[in-house]
Amino acid sequence: MGHDPAVRPGILDGRAKITIAGDADEDTQKKIAMLGHTYSAVSDSVRNGITLTPEIVVK
């Protein structure tokens, strides 16, 4: 099985859709939704990267 070394094997782009509803006005709801995105552990990991340490177990 061959692979093209010029093609990156990782994720190139991502999108998140946030749906929110409530009694607050639209501007306030958008601000609340952005707080969820800003403080999301997944969003933070994607934006800032993580250290990935492989553990190899051969049996």
Average of per-residue pLDDT values in the chain: 91
- pLDDT band of residue 56 (cuts 50, 70, 90) is very high
pLDDT tens for 26-46 read 999 999 999 999 999 999 998
CA pair distance 28, 20, nearest whole angstrom: 11
Percent of the chain with pLDDT over 70: 98
What pLDDT, on the 0 to 100 scale, is given for residue 27? Answer: 97
CB 16 within 8 A of CB 33: no
pTM of this structure: 0.62
Name which of 37, 31, 30, 35 is nearest 16 in CA terms. 37
Q: What are the backbone dihedrals phi and psi of residue 29, each rounded to the nearest 5 degrees, phi first?
A: -65, -40
Q: Residue 35: which domain range?
A: 1-59
Residue 6 DSSP class = T
Count how many domains the chain has: 1
What's the angle, vertex CA 14, arms to CA 54 and CA 46, rounded to 5? Answer: 40
